[in-house]
Homo-oligomer: A and B are copies of this chain.
Amino acid sequence: MIAIDWGTSSFRAFRLGADGQAIARVETSMGILNVSQGGFPATLREAVGAWLAGGETRVLMSGMVGSRQGWIEAPYCPCPAGAAEIAASVCAVPFEDAQIFIVPGLSAQDASGTPEVMRGEETQIIGAGAEGLVCLPGSHAKWVRVADGRITGFETYLSGEAFAAIRSGTILGRMMVDGPPVEAAFDEGLARSDSPGHLLHHLFGVRSLGLFGQLHDSASASYLSGLLIGHEIRAALQPGDHVTLLGAPALCALYARAIGLCGGIAAIGPADCAAAGLARIGESIAWT
């Protein structure tokens, strides 16, 4: 089987052996934003044509390739869902000389009935074999509950994208000086997130602390990062909760330390679980 993790800005394909382990891989920058309309079949063939010619006839893809902006929109599969439910909901893609399926994203509802969606993270989680509370940090951080291999519900926090927008679009950012992360300032922002008052009020403190010389311009980006991540973590977990982190190693390490400082217990899961997740889902698909 060929397993493909096709995201917004990257394309990664894995040729899997009979045991589900990757025996070859191809990685390109042809994320869906770099593929012109109608260009998906050619992009695929260019990347893995040799493997197809070599006799592979099964292709399973996950990620934003199944979004409205991707190859074909793969409708969301409602939670609770594990490998079996996801395999039963894959979306077939017409293709000449291979059987191609796209893994659906998952949908859920929060306590108020507001919809929630993920696309790609479900494959990572299944690949990691994670259980309990799982966090995938990033622009749109996901906090996911998993029981017996099935994703039962999740919430998304816009922390990463809010950080970038506030940094680039407000007076807070205009005071910031680029430089290496400042751990002490991150920790101060994290501690601030535990003090009385709303995030919208805490944000102004980044400005006022700077005005009074209590926060250096070279440290205020780290403070803002700690403030936002602290708000996210304190909202998403209870003290004493165990959390498995999946994602980019440096970001996972930052979150693990922050979760510990917020009273949680974090473990960093295996990195790069997409191929394993696709292999696991692929086992449950009724290939013809």
Contact = CB atoms under 8 A, between A and B. Distances in A.
B155 A114 contact: no
A169 B171 contact: no
Interface in A140-161: 140, 155-159, 161
Interface string A65-107: 0000000000000000000000000000000000000000000
Contacts of A197: 110-112, 155, 235
Contacts of A211: 115, 117
A203 B140 CA distance: 10
Interface residues of A, number: 45
A28 interface: no
Contact of A201 (B155, B169, B170, B203): B155
A106 to B, nearest CB: 12
Contacts of A166: 162, 165
B169 A165 contact: yes
A208 interface: yes
Q: Name the residue among A162, A196, A214, A235 with the largest chain B CB count within 10 angstroms.
A: A162
A262 to B, nearest CB: 13
Q: What is the predominant secondary structure among interface residues of chain A facing chain B?
A: helix
Contacts of A235: 197-198, 200-201
A9 B25 CA distance: 57
Contact of A112 (B192, B200, B236): B192
Nearest to A113: B195
A51 to B, nearest CB: 33
A192 B231 CA distance: 18
Query: Which 7 A-B pairs have CB atoms at the shortest separation, nearest pair first?
Result: A165-B169, A198-B235, A112-B195, A156-B204, A158-B203, A157-B200, A115-B208
Given A111-B196, A161-B170, 12 more contacts: A112-B197, A116-B208, A156-B204, A158-B172, A158-B201, A158-B203, A161-B169, A162-B200, A165-B166, A199-B199, A199-B231, A200-B235
Interface of A: 110-112, 114-117, 140, 155-159, 161-162, 164-166, 168-172, 192, 195-205, 208-209, 211-212, 214, 228, 231-232, 235-236
16 contacts: A110-B196, A110-B205, A111-B195, A115-B209, A115-B211, A116-B208, A140-B204, A157-B204, A158-B172, A162-B166, A162-B200, A198-B232, A199-B199, A199-B231, A200-B231, A200-B235
